[in-house]
A and B are shown apart, each in its own frame.
Chain A
Amino acid sequence: MSDSTAIAHATPNDPHAGGHEAHPAYLRHHFENTEQQADAAGFAMWIFLLTEVMFFGGLFTAYLIYRNWYYPAFVAASHQLDIFWGTLNTAVLITSSFTMAMGVWFAEIRKQSGLVLCLVLTFILGLGFLGIKTVEYKEKIEKHHVPGFHYSLQSFLDPDSDAEAKAAGDKPLPLDMARHTEVYFSLYFAMTGMHALHMIIGIAILGYMIFRARAGAYTTGHVTFVENFGLYWHFVDIIWIFLFPLLYLISRHPNI
């Protein structure tokens, strides 16, 4: 991600400083022109996102294998997730992607106030997502659904004792299968945790960008940074778009 704060390469006695036709200050020294620069940065960002796909790909693979093996456990365990909070979070995240896209557009038309507003909104929505996620995590902790020493099988061995399991009409699972719900929650925490980590990194960068945008950094025609960050933000959004159905919506249809 190239940034306009690049260390100025051309020093006064640099043989390369003179002799060129005038070019914008943000053009890095080793590029021929701004198109090449933006092109290279964008391409790099897409490749970086490719590495992210491979990173999450490992988790999705694990999920798909275990879901196949331990289908009843995965269904019962997924009923423990709160579909209301999950849907709300999806809405929050999609809205934040919209404000981010608007932000990129404002940067392109060089409208500083709009850009700052959009970045702040994205920032707030991102925090909102994490807040809702915390509420959900808290519920899991209270019900001892965090894998590890305190993991409890209560909700799966005796669904009637558990409001959510009862509402979903779960049948008691045999002990062998019930134990596999821990794999589901392991993956749930690993996947949403990695996703949340990406959100936190994104929000931190957003904070930096708001600070820079207020100083007018991205509204001079050099939008590469905002654009590439936008790609990152949408990517994190898309990961959630896959996580939501896999973790929450699996087998929500009644009585099958």
Chain B
Amino acid sequence: MSDTIVSLPDQSTARIPKVNFITKENGLLSWLLTGDHKRIAILYMISITFFFFIGGAMAGLIRLELLTPQSDLMATDTYNKVFTMHGIIMIFFFLVPSVPATLGNFLIPLMIGAKDLALPKINLLSWYLYVAGGILAIYTMATGGVDTGWTFTVPLSTHYVNTNVLTTGLAVFIAGFSSIFTGLNFIVTIHKMRCPGMTWFRMPLFCWAHYAASILMVLGTPVLAITIVLVALERTIHIGVFDPATGGDPILFQHLFWFYSHPAVYIMILPGFGVISETISTFSRKRVFGYTAVAFSSVAIAVFGFFVWAHHMFIMGISNYSMLVFSLLTMLVAVPSAIKIFNWTFTLFKGSITFETPMLYTFGFIGLFTIGGLTGVFLGAAGTDIHLTETYFIVAHFHFVMVGGMLMAFLAGIHFWWPKMTGRMYPEKISQLAAVVTFIGFNLTFFPQFILGTLGMPRRYGAYPPEFQVLNVFSTAGATILGVGYLLPILYLTWSLKYGEIAGNNPWQATGLEWQIQSPPLTENFAVTPIMDHEAYDYEWLENQKEKEVASVG
């Protein structure tokens, strides 16, 4: 048995197909005015990477400041601005669009056998809105920043701070529309554009996960929009909806804000789940165990996700009964997430597992997400939450889920579909190294923060008591390693654009429709509309296809 499933065409004769979506038209305008979902995905990928590194630089500054107990690298209000911008950029300009807008955009039409997303112009518009929002956010940063934390807590954001709340709010508002349009496009496409034979239960789980995330984008984001509008009105013309002086209630802001922002964490993680379903099946050569359960668990997460928001508010003065109910509902969300983890693990059972880079990231995801998810149960239980909330425990928890989970899934996906997107393989050895470095760096950065949190170190301060320094030094050292882990892919993926091996149609021997066409694909994706005549992840069907090909060529 070989230790890899990679099967590349003979490198001496293989060529990248002359006609593909990248070479079809040339010039900057052909990209900026494109309606092609694959090109828009590439545009998104470039801009998202850009914002990721800005957000990452902010994270670096935060960790550097926390190297010593005194607040000595920057003034305390600068520190507030840095962590606020880190949060805003990473959440609204990286995590929310990361997998859906790049991989989802690229792959959903390919996976369901469509020529494009249903609304190509809306798709392009969503990218422009994203860029406009992003530029506004950077402008905000350059002209004084904002220091409310990414949560825009009132009355701090409406009455007290003197920073760029309005422009930042506008940036998030605009980016929100970009997210709504992406979600709307996916829902319409998945409903109306599936090729003949592509029933709901033949779709790859990637599409199910994106469908569920899209529902959240479409239903949640407008509530954030109206919340931001109310904050803006309160700041500018002093209406009193959240202002206690007139009888308004700041808690209402929290309810409205978290009604979006809790589902938003599922917007961020669900597409990651989709990626993991694909990689785990491909690299263990088995159909995902319990396909239907995994598909419905995505939808269940989307539904439950809307009923747990108040667990962010246990210390904000909601009633004991709300605490009880929301605590219980929060525990319920653990069920569909656990269904996924168990099913993936069962998929591995007796599979022919190989350890290519996407699979390494996938293993990283499963381990880190499980830790992140289980510490979420600590926080969902109202009693322990009161001790742990607003400490580094919560910071570690959501970084395990978002960075350890989503970012790992994003990198798994980028590596997995890189050959499809570019036609070339990434270099295997160094990328395996990057995956391991990321995993080590990540654990070193964020695991000490769990301990810091239980010891009582509060979040959002630039200074801390000296006894916490050892663990903070660990964390900062880990962040350095993590930084290397993220820089490496940028370097070797760029390198591979020119020097990578030619990938051929299906380097992983995967079963999805996207792997049955040339890489990079044609602008219209499929020369003839495909007909789906088998279940998803049917490796026997793939073997038969190969035999048929050999027979017809021979």
Are A and B bound to each other? Answer: yes
Q: What does the 1/0 interface line of A13-44 toward B look like (CB < 8 Å)? A: 00110000000000011101000100111011
Q: Which of B116, B188, B223, B247 contacts A44 (CB 8 A)?
A: B188
Q: Which of A36, A52, A186, A193 contacts B240 (CB 8 A)?
A: A186
| A147 within 8 Å of B (CB atoms) | yes
9 cross-chain CB contacts under 8 A = A29-B116, A43-B188, A51-B221, A58-B223, A62-B230, A62-B256, A186-B240, A190-B230, A190-B241
Q: Which of A48, A58, A147, A180 contacts B239 (CB 8 A)?
A: A147
| A255 within 8 Å of B (CB atoms) | no
* A58, A73, A148: residue with the most chain B Cβ atoms closer than 10 Å: A58
| A2 within 8 Å of B (CB atoms) | yes
Could you tell me if B524 and A30 are in contact, using CB atoms closer than 8 angstroms?
yes
Instruction: Give chain B interface residues in 214-266, CB to chain A under 8 Å.
Output: 218-223, 225-227, 229-230, 233, 237-241, 246-249, 252, 256, 259
Distance A73 CA – B35 CA, assembled complex (angstroms): 53
Instruction: Give chain B interface residues in 147-180, CB to chain A under 8 Å.
Output: 180
| B120 within 8 Å of A (CB atoms) | yes
Distance A230 CA – B229 CA, assembled complex (angstroms): 26
| B70 within 8 Å of A (CB atoms) | no
Known: A32-B529, A190-B239. A55 touches B225 (CB 8 A): yes
| A109 within 8 Å of B (CB atoms) | no
Could you tell me if B241 and A30 are in contact, using CB atoms closer than 8 angstroms?
no
Q: Output the least CB separation between B170 and chain A (Å).
A: 14
Could you tell me if A44 and B184 are in contact, using CB atoms closer than 8 angstroms?
yes
Could you tell me if A2 and B240 are in contact, using CB atoms closer than 8 angstroms?
no
Distance A148 CA – B240 CA, assembled complex (angstroms): 8
Contacts of B229 in A (CB 8 A): 190, 194
Distance A235 CA – B249 CA, assembled complex (angstroms): 30
Q: Which of A29, A44, A55, A185 contacts B119 (CB 8 A)?
A: A44
- B residues with CB within 8 A of A: 33, 35, 114-116, 118-122, 180, 184-185, 187-189, 191-193, 218-223, 225-227, 229-230, 233, 237-241, 246-249, 252, 256, 259, 524, 527, 529
Q: Output the least CB separation between A144 and chain B (Å).
A: 13
| A237 within 8 Å of B (CB atoms) | no
In the complex, residue of chain A having the shortest beta-carbon distance to the beta carbon of B247: A180
Distance A36 CA – B206 CA, assembled complex (angstroms): 24
- A residues with CB within 8 A of B: 2, 6-7, 9, 15-16, 28-30, 32, 36, 39-41, 43-44, 47-48, 50-59, 61-62, 65-66, 69-70, 73, 146-149, 179-180, 182-183, 185-187, 189-190, 193-194
Q: A187-B241, A189-B239 are in contact. List 20 more A-B contacts (CB 8 A).
A: A29-B116, A30-B114, A30-B118, A32-B529, A39-B192, A40-B189, A40-B192, A47-B187, A51-B180, A51-B219, A54-B218, A54-B219, A58-B259, A59-B230, A62-B252, A65-B249, A65-B252, A66-B248, A179-B246, A183-B248
Q: Output the least CB separation between B184 and chain A (Å).
A: 5
Contacts of B187 in A (CB 8 A): 47
Could you tell me if A186 and B219 are in contact, using CB atoms closer than 8 angstroms?
no
* B191, B193, B222, B239: residue with the most chain A Cβ atoms closer than 10 Å: B239
Q: Output the least CB separation between B253 and chain A (Å).
A: 10
9 residue pairs, one from A and one from B, having the closest CB atoms: A186-B239, A30-B116, A30-B115, A58-B226, A55-B222, A148-B238, A180-B247, A54-B222, A182-B246
In the complex, residue of chain A having the shortest beta-carbon distance to the beta carbon of B34: A7
Contacts of A30 in B (CB 8 A): 114-116, 118, 120, 193, 524
Could you tell me if B248 and A190 are in contact, using CB atoms closer than 8 angstroms?
no
Distance A111 CA – B157 CA, assembled complex (angstroms): 54
Could you tell me if A182 and B225 are in contact, using CB atoms closer than 8 angstroms?
no
Could you tell me if A186 and B241 are in contact, using CB atoms closer than 8 angstroms?
yes
Q: Output the least CB separation between B201 and chain A (Å).
A: 21
Known: A44-B118, A50-B219, A57-B223. A182 touches B191 (CB 8 A): no
Could you tell me if A47 and B238 are in contact, using CB atoms closer than 8 angstroms?
no
Could you tell me if A9 and B35 are in contact, using CB atoms closer than 8 angstroms?
yes
Contacts of B240 in A (CB 8 A): 147, 182-183, 186
Distance A58 CA – B226 CA, assembled complex (angstroms): 6
Could you tell me if A51 and B184 are in contact, using CB atoms closer than 8 angstroms?
yes
Could you tell me if A147 and B192 are in contact, using CB atoms closer than 8 angstroms?
no
Q: Output the least CB separation between A100 and chain B (Å).
A: 23
Contacts of B193 in A (CB 8 A): 30, 36, 40
Distance A47 CA – B114 CA, assembled complex (angstroms): 20
In the complex, residue of chain A having the shortest beta-carbon distance to the beta carbon of B219: A54
Contacts of B119 in A (CB 8 A): 2, 40-41, 44
Distance A100 CA – B80 CA, assembled complex (angstroms): 51
Could you tell me if A62 and B241 are in contact, using CB atoms closer than 8 angstroms?
yes
Could you tell me if B246 and A147 are in contact, using CB atoms closer than 8 angstroms?
yes
Distance A84 CA – B180 CA, assembled complex (angstroms): 38
Known: A148-B239, A190-B230. A180 touches B223 (CB 8 A): no
Contacts of B222 in A (CB 8 A): 51-55, 57-58
Distance A57 CA – B226 CA, assembled complex (angstroms): 9
Contacts of B527 in A (CB 8 A): 15
In the complex, residue of chain B having the shortest beta-carbon distance to the beta carbon of A16: B524
Q: Which of A16, A52, A180 contacts B246 (CB 8 A)?
A: A180
Q: Output the least CB separation between B120 and chain A (Å).
A: 7
Q: Output the least CB separation between A216 and chain B (Å).
A: 22
In the complex, residue of chain B having the shortest beta-carbon distance to the beta carbon of A69: B247
Distance A114 CA – B304 CA, assembled complex (angstroms): 49
Could you tell me if A40 and B241 are in contact, using CB atoms closer than 8 angstroms?
no
Q: Output the least CB separation between A225 and chain B (Å).
A: 12
Distance A44 CA – B183 CA, assembled complex (angstroms): 10
Contacts of B259 in A (CB 8 A): 58
Distance A182 CA – B191 CA, assembled complex (angstroms): 46
Q: Output the least CB separation between B310 and chain A (Å).
A: 14
Could you tell me if A59 and B252 are in contact, using CB atoms closer than 8 angstroms?
no
Distance A183 CA – B223 CA, assembled complex (angstroms): 20
Q: Which of A16, A50, A149, A179 contacts B218 (CB 8 A)?
A: A50
Q: Output the least CB separation between A13 and chain B (Å).
A: 10
Known: A44-B119, A70-B247, A186-B248. A7 touches B35 (CB 8 A): yes
Could you tell me if B246 and A183 are in contact, using CB atoms closer than 8 angstroms?
yes
Contacts of A43 in B (CB 8 A): 188, 191-192
Q: Output the least CB separation between A220 and chain B (Å).
A: 20
Distance A62 CA – B233 CA, assembled complex (angstroms): 15
Could you tell me if A186 and B246 are in contact, using CB atoms closer than 8 angstroms?
yes
Distance A27 CA – B527 CA, assembled complex (angstroms): 18
Q: Output the least CB separation between B73 and chain A (Å).
A: 40
* A51, A185, A190: residue with the most chain B Cβ atoms closer than 10 Å: A51
Could you tell me if A29 and B239 are in contact, using CB atoms closer than 8 angstroms?
no
Could you tell me if B237 and A147 are in contact, using CB atoms closer than 8 angstroms?
yes
Known: A43-B191, A51-B184. A59 touches B226 (CB 8 A): yes
Q: Output the least CB separation between A113 and chain B (Å).
A: 30
Contacts of B226 in A (CB 8 A): 55-59, 194
Distance A57 CA – B239 CA, assembled complex (angstroms): 18
In the complex, residue of chain A having the shortest beta-carbon distance to the beta carbon of B177: A51
Distance A114 CA – B405 CA, assembled complex (angstroms): 58
Q: Output the least CB separation between A148 and chain B (Å).
A: 4
* A36, A55, A73: residue with the most chain B Cβ atoms closer than 10 Å: A55
Known: A30-B524, A52-B222, A179-B247. A149 touches B238 (CB 8 A): yes
In the complex, residue of chain B having the shortest beta-carbon distance to the beta carbon of A189: B239
